[in-house]
Structure 1
Amino acid sequence: MKTMTGMAGGTVPAHAEADHPKVRMGRVGLLLANLGTPDDTDYWSMRRYLGEFLSDRRVIDYSPWLWQPLLQGIILSKRPFSSGAAYRSIWNEEKGESPLATITKAQTAKMAERMQAMFGDDVVVDYCMRYGNPSTASKVEQMKAAGCDRIVFFPLYPHYAGATSATACDQFFRALMKMKWQPTCRTVPAYYEDARYIEALARSVERAYAALDHRPDVLVCSYHGVPKRYLLEGDPYHCQCQKTTRLLRERLGWDATEIVTTFQSKFGPEEWLKPYTVEEVARLAEEDGKKSIAVIAPAFSADCIETLEEINEEIHEAFEEAGGERFTYIPCLNDDDAHMDALAAIAAENLAGWVAPRRAVAQAAE
């Protein structure tokens, strides 16, 4: 598939005068969106990234009059040091980037391969980040310049939450607001109950269990947390997470005692969705006597700081300190082929009517 840079040419719009300049048009963009990543692990890179992330009113909705002095004066003076150390523990030194960046690039490449097979050169595939680089605005501009007069925006979050899917779409819409000539756009909805996504999750669990010399007592489905208040204000995230766990259990054919739903990454003083993963894994070891658990993170489409550092290090340690003996982390779906097939099928459904699959075009020609 052609990339967005380096494409030459263009066409004269229909019914235009002969001397009308050529413009690029008629192409469709598929823009994948993930959370974001710092450019490096040093203090200033971390401060820029955390400043953008923690200033998002979708993430922290306290009054700026109260929050910003605390953020700028205290949090961003100290947190870049600890966050930088956490990122350094998982950093992809070979490529000079975070694992999330590496994985998202791999996902984009595999998505491009699948779109090429389905639609030929009619679909341009790229990715952006809500926070950090490459920015959403820069990629929307590039797609427009590449002749994309239609764009499907695909947040890589299986579950909808105001702090994830909504803020990604907000940033996409902000980019459109600055354009004189906006492309026509669609956004891909959450896919938490999509049978293809559930199947990919189930296969990853089955592979992980088959590789072990023992069967874990419990599978902990650890989802990123949000304040409980968000649920009470109408955010559907909690309910969608619970449904994913139920569908996964049903697909695996397991008893309800073999799988639990928990929430991680609590931040700030207020109550968040419970049970908290770090407390629940300790409780499973101390009170229930569970010596072996596996943990999976269904809400993350790619491994990142919350999975590689928080789950595989902090939560792992909490389980062992409480008496647990065998801890297994099941990686995110990342660029696993079953996962990419599911995402490609979802993307194709959202491209329907804008571009025809090659097979359909060939059959029509016959």
Structure 2
Amino acid sequence: MIMEKPTDHPQVKPRKVGILFANLGTPDGYDYWSMRRYLSEFLSDKRVIDYPAWKWQPILQAIILTKRPRSSGEAYKSIWNEAEGESPLMTITKQQIAKLNAVLTEEYGDQVMVDFCMRYGNPSTKSKVAEMVSNGCDRVLFFPLYPQYAGATSGTANDEFFRALMNEKWQPAARTIEPYFDDPAYVDALAQSVEQGYAKLDKRPDLLVVSYHGMPIRYLTEGDPYHCQCQKGTRLLRERLGWDEAEIKTSFQSVFGPEEWLKPYTVEEVARLAKAGKKNIAVIAPAFSADCIETLEEIQEEIQEAFIHAGGESFTYIPCLNDDDAHIQALVGVAKRNLGGWLK
């Protein structure tokens, strides 16, 4: 016999599976206070800067956050999507999610709810987890958009997701994804972007610089697998392209603070290459799933300037995969593997 619910019973919505994609984040604007809020949240994360709070916070709040919001704000202003009132990372992420939602809902219909959040800034992970739960998601696949694992990227995104779950009275079942830098479809999408980029050039570059976001060497010695996954990722890309080792080079960008970081540093390496006679290079940044401040401003301005100043002649930036269809299909494949057993 089926028992009817009492009239005052809380409404229970039809079961769904939430697929929540996550990226790093973006300030709400490039003004001083928007930048300060964003940078304070980002640089207060112990996964990013792991110094003791008693030592780090006075430096951060009293020194760094008095000057850096202005300089970072100028950098963001130079790339800002004024038409939409948002950063390029936000614009591209929205485009990615629109395509991912279209493919996944075509596959699974109303069994799924597809959305995105940011680790820092808005929309917050907490707000999007709450929204999914309120819409009947009793299972959530959390998908940080970082091909390689690093504690300061995937790790901290997962931390924030788990903290968000702690706020839910009825906590959904949860899964996170494994690193997908070596997924064949992802490697193929990356290789295709290189092939398409080279096909547009009148002259083939002397070298492809594969520039990954950096991290302190200490993190590697403490067990973070990021460096190894970057090196393997470059090798897999080279093998897929069918190139010799001399045609491709791994480097690391975005150094911050006094510690020694993973080397070679991209900004120094491109200058060295120019002086060594490599006058025509291309740069790709496969640690980023979407073009952002580190690619649109740092690579295409600071790093390109270092190369030209050292005698380089031709500098080509190959964009991130963004919402390219091959990239979307690779991400869908990763999601579907991790949804196994949850959906028909």
Is TM > 0.5 for Structure 1 vs Structure 2?
yes
In structure 1, the partner of 2:71 is 82
Report what 1:232 is aligned to.
Answer: 221
* AA matched with 1:333: L
Percent identity among equivalent residues? 70
Per-residue CA shift, 1:69-119, capped at 9, x if unaligned?
A: 000000000000000000000000000000000000001000001101211
Structure 2 stretches of 5 or more lacking a match? Answer: none
TM-score (norm 2): 0.98
Tell whether the 8 Å contact from 1:115 to 1:344 is kept in structure 2 after alignment: yes
Structure 1 distance, partners of 2:243, 2:226, is 24
Q: Which residue of 2 aligns with 1:336?
A: 324
In structure 1, C-alpha distance between the alignment counterparts of 2:5 and 2:204, rounded to whole Å = 72
Counterpart CA distance in 2 for 1:267 and 1:146 is: 41
Cα distance in 2, alignment partners of residues 15 and 54 from structure 1: 53
CA shift digits 1:201-235 (9 cap, x unpaired): 00000000000000000000000000000000000
Residue 113 of structure 1 is matched in structure 2 by 102
Q: How many residues align?
A: 342
Distance between the aligned counterparts of 1:58 and 1:33, measured in 2? 16
| 1:313 alignment partner, one of 301, 304, 314 | 301
What is the one-letter code of the residue matched to 1:259?
A: I
Counterpart amino acid of 2:311? Answer: G
Partner of 1:73: 62
Partners of 1:252 and 1:235 lie apart in 2 by 28
Which residue number in structure 1 is paired with residue 242 of structure 2?
253
User: What SS does structure 2 have at the residue aligned with 1:89?
Assistant: helix
* Superposition CA RMSD, Å: 0.9
Q: Which amino acid aligns with 1:330?
A: I
**What residue is the counterpart of 2:83 in the other structure?**
94
- Pick aligned residue for 1:44 from 33, 40, 44: 33
Shift in Å, 1:23: 1.1
Q: Does 1:300 align with 2:288?
A: yes
1:323 to 308, 311, 325: 311
Q: 1:351 — aligned with what?
A: 339
Does 1:218 find its partner at 2:207?
yes
1:255-274 alignment runs, 5 A limit: 255-274=244-263
Counterpart of 1:266 in structure 2: which amino acid? V
Shift of 1:24: 1.3
What does residue 283 of structure 1 align with? 272
Aligned mates of 2:164, 2:37 — CA distance in 1: 20
C-alpha distance in structure 2 between counterparts of 1:85 and 1:193, whole Å? 36
Residue 31 of structure 1 aligns to a residue whose secondary structure is: strand
Mapping of residues 172-191 of structure 1, within 5 Å: 172-191=161-180
Amino acid at match of 1:176: L
1:151 and 2:140 correspond: yes
* Structure 1 residue 21 displacement after superposition: 3.9
CA contact (8 A) 1:25 1:149 kept: no
In structure 2, what is the equivalent of residue 364 of structure 1?
none
CA distance in 2, matches of 1:192, 1:204: 15
After TM superposition, the score normalised by the length of structure 1 is: 0.92
1:135-185 per-position Cα deviation (integer Å, ceiling 9, x unaligned): 000000000001100000000000000000000000000011122210000
Match of 1:293, as an amino acid?
Answer: I
Shift of 1:310: 0.2
* Cα displacement string for residues 18-61 of structure 1 (whole angstroms, at most 9, x for unaligned residues): 53443114100000000000000000000000000000000000
The Cα of 1:15 is off from its aligned counterpart by 5.2
2:100 partner letter: M
Map 1:155-174 onto structure 2 (within 5 A). Answer: 155-174=144-163
Q: Is the 8 A contact 1:302 1:333 kept in 2?
A: yes
Distance (Å, rounded) in 2 between the aligned partners of 1:281 and 1:47: 31
Q: 1:34 corresponds to which residue?
A: 23
More displaced 10-residue stretch of structure 1: 173-182 or 64-73:
173-182
